[in-house]
Each structure stands twice: as structure tokens, then as C-alpha cells.
Amino acid sequence: MMNNYLELTKPRITWLILMSTGIGYFFGWDGSFNLWLLFHTILGTGLIASGTAALNQWYEHDADAKMLRTNKRPIPSGRVPADKALWFGIGIALAGFAELCWGCNLLTGILGAFTLVSYLFVYTPMKQKTWWSTTVGAVPGAMPPMIGFAAAKGDLTPEAWILFAILFLWQFPHFYAIAWMYREDYGRAGIQMLPVVEPDGNSTSRHMVAFAIALIPVSLLPAFYAMSGKFYLIGALMLGMAFLNATWQVFSDRSVLKARGVLKASVMYLPLLYCLMVLDRTSL
């Protein structure tokens, strides 16, 4: 039973969220390292992210039941009743908000609450209405480093916004690849992803390439804001070009295989970029 509730929290996504939160904390940290504050930051973010995931599954369980990739999730499969999933999500989300407010600071709690509200009450309903939901959803999706930065520094400086921008742009090739791979599933559920609205894939592949191009200069900004150095600059440029190449493959051949290549490249890109950023930071 506990495994079913754990599945509601989408742990494979939550670890990426916590990784980005930790990066934000690392670059917001100034002075003596506060391990206890980091603990509160990670715990609070993990709870609010898990609550958001559970509430999202509660909201979309009818659509999930229509898609092959999601119909085995706890609610549509009948392993967790919808009402219990609702209260579970509310409970851990509120606990996460309280943890961020009292364990970190009010700004961090507000950012966490904004992430939940914008994801659940703006992005999620839009998915049934317009493909622009992907753009809207990228805003709460890019909030984790802002939360970590605010927890450590108590403020949001240009460095926090750079981390936000990197994650914001990274999401588009990542999610467009998923949308292309599962476009038939999304169509069955009435979710208006771009490949559903324009099934020839022209717009989807162009968007992947355009955002991969935009990501390259933005990913270099940490080197110009004294967040990292030349080692990061060179590494980020190489990673960006490799990521762009993966998206260009989809532009040339709009197959599921090539889209899967973009998905794999995106999953590798972000942790590697963060590692370069941290390693070069320690050498400054």
C-alpha cells in the first residue's frame, strides 16, 4: 500500500527537482555552510513537489485512464481511491509549505506555493485547451533552483534568474520529445500537446531546435556572472552543441527513435551541466 502512495509522488521526477533545488541552494549560499538549512530546503521542496505530483494525478486520473503510458498509475488502476489520493496530496503539500516557511524563510515558502498553484490551477487545466500549456508549465517547472537560492540567500539576485532561465529553456526539447513519442496517447486523452494539434511534426521539431539554440548562450551566462569559470564555459558549450545536434536529428527525421534520442540527451544534459557548474565553482 505504501508503495502505491509513493508512486503518486513521482519519485523519478522528484529527484530531478531536488537536484535543481540543491544547485540553487549552492549558488545562493554565502558564508558558513548551513547543513540544517539545506535539510529543511530539500525536505520542504520534496514534500511540496510530491504533493503537487499527487494532486496532479488526482486531477488528471480520468485522462490518465485513457492513455497507455499512464493507465497503470495508482488512481486509474484502482490501487488508490481518488479521495484518499486527494487528501494525501493536500496533506504533504501543506507540510512542505510549512517546512519551507518555518524551516527556511517566508520567500521560500511563497515560491513553493506559487509553484504548486501555477502548476495545478493554471498549467494542468490548460493542457485540455491549448498547446501553449507547455510554455506556461515551464514556469513552475523552472522554480526549484529559485526555491533553493531563496532558502540560502533570502533573496533573488540575477544568479537565481540565470538558473531559472536555464531550466526553463531546457524543458522545451525535453517535453516536446515526450509529446512526440506519445502523441497518440495524448490525443486519446484530449490533451492538446503541440504534436496532437499539428501532427506532421514540423512545428514540434522546429521548437525543439529553436529552444536548444536559445539554451546555449543562456547556459554560458554563469561564466560571465562569476558563478563558474572557463572550464564550465567550454564544457557548457560542448554540452549545448551536443544537445542541439540531438534536436536537429528530429528536425531531419521526425521518428520516435530520434525523439527518444532527444529525451535521453536532455536527461544527461542537465546533471552534467550542473556538475560542471559546481566543480568549476569550487575552483574559483
Using one digit for the tens of pLDDT, what is the confidence trace for 142-168?
A: 999 999 999 999 999 999 999 999 999
For residues 280 and 221, state if they share a domain.
Answer: yes
- Please give, one letter per residue, the 3-state secondary structure of 56-96: HHHHCHHHHHHCCCCCCCCCCCCCCCHHHHHHHHHHHHHHH
Grid cell digits, residue 15? 529527484
**Whose CA is closest to 147, among 39, 52, 15, 24?**
24
- Which of 28-32, 121-125, 247-251 is predicted with the least confidence, judged by mean pLDDT? 28-32
| φ, ψ dihedrals at 228, nearest 5° | -145, 180
How many C-beta neighbours within 10 Å does residue 230 have?
A: 10
**Whose CA is closest to 56, among 110, 3, 100, 92?**
92
For residues 35 and 162, state if they share a domain.
Answer: no
Please compute the mean of the pLDDT values over residues 212-230 and round it to a whole number: 96
Whole-number pLDDT of residue 283: 56
Q: CA geometry: angle at 135 spanning 149 and 72, to 5°?
A: 90
Contact of 104 with 37, CB cutoff 8 Å:
yes
- Please state at what angle helix 11-28 crosses helix 144-153, rounded to 10 degrees: 40
For residues 147 and 185, state if they share a domain.
Answer: no
Whole-number pLDDT of residue 34: 85
265 membership: H or E segment, kind and range: helix 256-282
Whether the per-residue pLDDT at 282 is higher than 90: the answer is: no
Cβ partners under 8 Å of residue 138, min gap 6: 168, 171, 172, 175
Domains held by the chain: number: 2
Contact of 58 with 80, CB cutoff 8 Å:
no
For residues 184 and 255, state if they share a domain.
Answer: yes
Please compute the mean of the pLDDT values over residues 188-214 and round it to a whole number: 92
Whole-number pLDDT of residue 281: 82
For residues 131 and 182, state if they share a domain.
Answer: no
For residues 54 and 124, state if they share a domain.
Answer: yes
Residue that finishes a domain, picked among 137, 155, 173: 155
Tell me which residue range forms the domain holding 76.
1-155
- Give the model confidence (pLDDT) of 65-98 as tens digits: 998 888 999 999 999 999 999 999 999 999 999 9
For residues 144 and 165, state if they share a domain.
Answer: no
Contact of 66 with 189, CB cutoff 8 Å:
yes
CATH number of domain containing 269? 1.20.120
Number of residues in the chain: 284
